[in-house]
Each structure stands twice: as C-alpha cells, then as structure tokens.
Amino acid sequence: MRAARLAEPRPASSYPLVVQDLDTPTAAQDEVVIEVSTCGVCRTDLQLVEGDLAAHRLPITPGHQVVGKVREVGSGVEDRHVGQRVGVAWIASTCGKCRFCLSGRENLCEAATFTGWDGDGGFAEMIVADAGFTYPLPDGFDDVEAAPLLCGGTIGLRSLRVSGIQRGDRLGLFGFGASATCVIQIARAWECEVFVCTRSVREQQRARDLGAVWAGGYEDSPPSKLDAAITFAPVGSVVVDALRSVDRGGVVAVNAIHLDRIPEFSYDLLWEERQIRSVANVTRRDAVELIELAAEIPIRTQTEVFDLDDVNTALERLSSGALAGAAVLAIS
C-alpha cells in the first residue's frame, strides 16, 4: 500500500512528507483494517509535521479524519463487518479503567493513544484501527463531506460544551477554519447569535454567509458583549482578545492542542468570574453525538480535495491560510 510518511519534522513549505510503498497491514485481535477513501487534513497534522507538536514516534503516517470501508476484521470483533463504511477520529485507544475513563472523561486518560501521532494514520491507502474506536457513518454525507466532521466537527462540539453556551446566547468564534465552520452551524441551529473574528476578509464574508450577525478582524471588538467564546487560532494573543470580548461570567474555550505563549494581561480581564478553559481531545461519545447532530441539522462542510501525492501542497496551503474550508485527501 502507499502512505505519506514523515521522517523528520520540517516546514510544510519544504514538502516533508514522502509517499512510500509499505506492507499491507493485517488486523490483530479487536482490530479492523480499513481501506481509506478520504482523510481530512487538520491543523494538528500540520503542527506534527512542522514540529510544533512533538512527535511520539518517527517515521509516522499522519492523518486522523479517516473515512473508508472495513477490509478485514480481527478476532474478537463482533460489531463491525467487511464492507461497512466507518470513520476513524483522533482518539485511537484508552485504558478503559482509570478514573477518567470510568467517569466519562476518556479524553483525559493518561494512557490514551492518538491516530496519526502514536500509530499510523489515514494519509495512506489503508489503516489499522481498534474496532471500538471506529464509527459507522450515515448515508447523508459522502466521503469527502464526512472527513472534516471527524475532528473539526467533533472537537468543535466539545468546545461548545466546554464554553457553557446555551440556546439563544451570544457566541464569539476567534478564527474561522474547518472546525469553526462546523461550530457556527451547530450554534445557529441552537438559535445563538454568532460573532466571528478572523484576519481573513474572505473568511469574514464566509462567516456572514453561514449566519454570523457580525464579522471582523482580531483588532476589532464585537459590538455586543459575548456570553462565551471559542478560540481556534493557535496564537496566544487571540485568547486575550476573546477574554476582552466576553461578559461577566463568560468562558473562553481554547480549541488548540498547541498554542504559543499567552501574553501577560491585567487581572481585571479575568475578574468577575470570567474563565479560560482548554479543550483537550475528544471522547467516543463526542464523535457519535456529532455524527448524529451533523445528520440532523445537517452540517455541511466546505472542502478542497487533493490527491495523496499532493498532500504536501495541502499542508502548505493550510499553513499559509490559503484554504477555503478544509483540505481533504481523496485516496481511493
């Protein structure tokens, strides 16, 4: 099979991934082999490739928004079958017995592993996955549309919950990429007023087209105080911008696995029970509920499609901010 491999983190502009031929994988106990149809390209993949996110192993095949069909089923697997269309997301396994797993917080499991970080991911023609961490996909989405939901959509839903947003509240989105595209559609379905800050004039207009009541740059202030905000940009100063925009008791949820330094700010910004909360990974429940919600609303993703051989181009466009929506690799 063919797979895009990272041997050494380097800038995306240097085309660090090399497409290679590897042995065809086989399924061990409790595993499935999936023939990959599409795989979304996430900012976390970019951060791994460029070294902002420290590699857990090298070489590695990135990619954790995988859509495909089950090709082989290992022993002990009873609820997946050959030919079934499934998704694979960021969380690849957990211990299932620690205090976090037993309290519905498997996203915080210290023994958790992650797709495309601890084990080879979906920038490949095939992937091996723990069957218990795969998700049957409804017919309402084609493979290209479904891929960005598996991370951007799922972590977006978790961010909304962490923010404490309620139906009809005022929500700020700081950054407007693939995840925010999903979040705004959920928030509008919940009858929230959405305010968007992004440096891209094109993305500001796209936010308005998706129902934002206001859109401006990071240097601008939303015209109303916000009940909650979510930051998507991997820039610490944006967290402070969001904190300035939330009302008393408001929460800023930071949707990022890597963030540069948050600059010093006055305690007055945090006073009056404002909060900053990180959003760490996702649970399987998050993924299942997002898939159901996406079909119900329905959530529609905006994508640019690339061949596997053009994966470096996709990463470079993501790095430069040139993408409109989400990059998706069409593999088979």
Q: Is the peptide bond before 298 cis (omega within 30 degrees of 0)?
A: yes
Query: Following DSSP, what letter does each residue of 293-310 receive, concatenated?
Result: HHHHTT----EEEEEGGG
pLDDT of residue 184: 98
What are the CA-CA distances from residue 287 to residues 133, 157, 319 (Å)? Answer: 10, 9, 26
Q: Please name the residue that has the structure tokens 């181009």.
A: 313
65 neighbors 40 (Cβ within 8 angstroms):
yes
Residues 6+ apart with CB under 8 A from 227: 165, 166, 169, 170, 171, 246, 247, 250
**Domain assignments of the chain as residue spans, ordered by start:** 2-148+282-330, 153-278
pTM: 0.93
The confidence score (pLDDT) of residue 259 equals 87
Say which amino acid occupies 312.
Answer: N
d(CA 28, CA 76): 9
Radius of gyration of the chain (CA): 19
Task: Name the one residue in this structure whose structure tokens are 């891209």.
Answer: 200
Taking only the tens of pLDDT, the chain with its 332 residues reads 999 999 999 999 999 999 999 999 999 999 999 999 999 999 999 999 999 999 999 999 999 999 999 999 999 999 999 999 999 999 999 999 999 999 999 999 999 999 999 999 999 999 999 999 999 999 888 999 999 999 999 999 999 999 999 999 999 999 999 999 999 999 999 999 999 999 999 999 999 999 999 999 998 999 999 999 999 998 999 999 999 999 999 999 999 988 888 999 999 999 999 999 999 999 999 999 999 999 999 999 999 999 999 999 999 999 998 887 899 999 97
Dihedrals φ, ψ of 139, to 5°?
-80, -10
* Domain 153-278 CATH (choose: 3.40.50.150, 3.40.50.2020, 3.40.50.720, 3.30.750.24): 3.40.50.720
The confidence score (pLDDT) of residue 246 equals 98
At which residue do the structure tokens 């049957």 appear? 136
Identify the CATH homologous superfamily for domain 2-148+282-330.
Medium-chain alcohol dehydrogenases, catalytic domain (3.90.180.10)
